[in-house]
Amino acid sequence: MTSGSDQTEPASRKPRGGPGLRIGRPFGIPVYVTSSWLLVAAVITLLYGGIVQARLALGPVSYLLAFVFAILLYASVLVHELAHSVVARGFGLPVRRIVLHVLGGVSEIGREAPTPGREFWIAFVGPLFSLLVAAGAFGLYLMADPFGVPGELLFQLWVANLLVGVFNLLPGLPLDGGRLLRAGVWKVTGRPFAGTVAAAWGGRVLALGVVALPLVEAWRSGGLNPWGTVWALVLGGFMWMGATEALRTARVRERIPGLRARELARPAVAVVSDTPLAEAQRRAGAAEADAIVVTDRQGTPLSIVHPAAAEAIAEGRREWVPVSDVARALTEHSLVPVGLEGEELLEALAGHPLPEYLVVDGEGAVQGVLRAGDVNAAMAGEARR
């Protein structure tokens, strides 16, 4: 099972609804279980139930015991994720939620750690708690009857947590060990992007290794394990996609400091609300402006002409259609200070998502129109249209 913290990019505003059934709010953090957990619980119950029956001969109770183990396993994953989330919140980072899914769990942390040291501790504390749970379960197992129900559960619990803790320390994203590698490279180079590149490629190599394991074993033994092969393909695919997404996110984050409202704003002309659309477009063309701002007679901005709505008007009618008919009204959240840049600019836009914003200086004078599509294009490294 995989587990780890998922630090998301500010530009990707994830849906606020839950991805499954909410089972609680420990430490004020919403915890959700997806429907895929039922599939894993069923598989564990069927497979492990047969093993328990062979070892303890408990009849139908063997499968109940196997289901209890599935619950204990995911409770261990929850402890792992809570460790990530609590430490992240202690460092002042927002935690959206914890999601338990088919392959383990993930903590959705809303902002990147500001230093490699904090990145290290947020990542390391998860495997640390898994290994502590393993040690505690192992200690109790030594005092229990190995052929009794408690002994069987404790045995599986300490082995499972040991595997989760050790596996998540492997040096590749999206595993916690990848974040530890990222923190180390970040510390040495001073560039978080360099750390992400190293850890993402480490994750891709690990993904290929996971997929190759059952194939190598089949070559050695002469027989292919179907369950092991399917699980390796699913896990390897998940790791490859996680590493690739981390690399994409890092490339986006690398561009965030270069985002400036002053540079992204499109030149605009101001016209009064009863100006014919054709005349407004003529003035914009003469001024080499890309946007039209509608004002009242005193020059107070009221709205911004919507390009698609304007283009939908037949050219022959534009002499008779006032610009106010094809404009979006401005609100108190439509104004963006011209000096905003980087994270501050993104946070301002994310707080009140709109198609376009009016960029103004300290005196309230219009400096241009900022379109959300232009910001997204800049973050993706694309030329604006």
* CA distances to 1, 85, 97, 227 from 94, in Å: 25, 9, 9, 38
Known catalytic residues are 81
**Phi, psi (5° rounding) for residue 361?**
-90, -175
Conformational region of residue 178, where left means phi above 0, alpha means psi within -120 to 50, and beta covers everything else: alpha
Q: Which of 82, 80, 90 is nearest to 118 (CA)?
A: 90
- Calculate the dihedral angle through the C-alpha atoms of 332, 336, 342, 343, rounding to the nearest 10 degrees: -10
Residues linked to residue 97 through DSSP beta bridges, in sequence order: 108
- CA-CA distance, 206 to 71, in Å (whole number)? 28
- CA-CA distance, 343 to 76, in Å (whole number)? 35
* Stated length of the chain: 385
- CA-CA distance, 250 to 266, in Å (whole number)? 27
For 302, the token pair is 């009221």
Those residues whose C-beta lies under 8 Å from the C-beta of residue 296, and which sit 6 or more positions away, are: 272, 273, 302
Helix (H/G/I), strand (E/B), else coil: 44: helix
- Sign of the alpha-carbon torsion through 224, 230, 234, 235: negative
- CA-CA distance, 308 to 372, in Å (whole number)? 15
* CA distances to 284, 313, 368 from 371, in Å: 17, 21, 10
176 is in an annotated binding site: yes
- CA-CA distance, 165 to 177, in Å (whole number)? 10
Q: Which of 341, 178, 169 is nearest to 250 (CA)?
A: 178
333 is in an annotated binding site: no
For 150, the token pair is 């408690």
Radius of gyration of the chain (CA): 28
Q: Binding site for Zn(2+): residue ranges?
A: 80, 84, 176
Q: Binding site: residue ranges?
A: 80, 84, 176
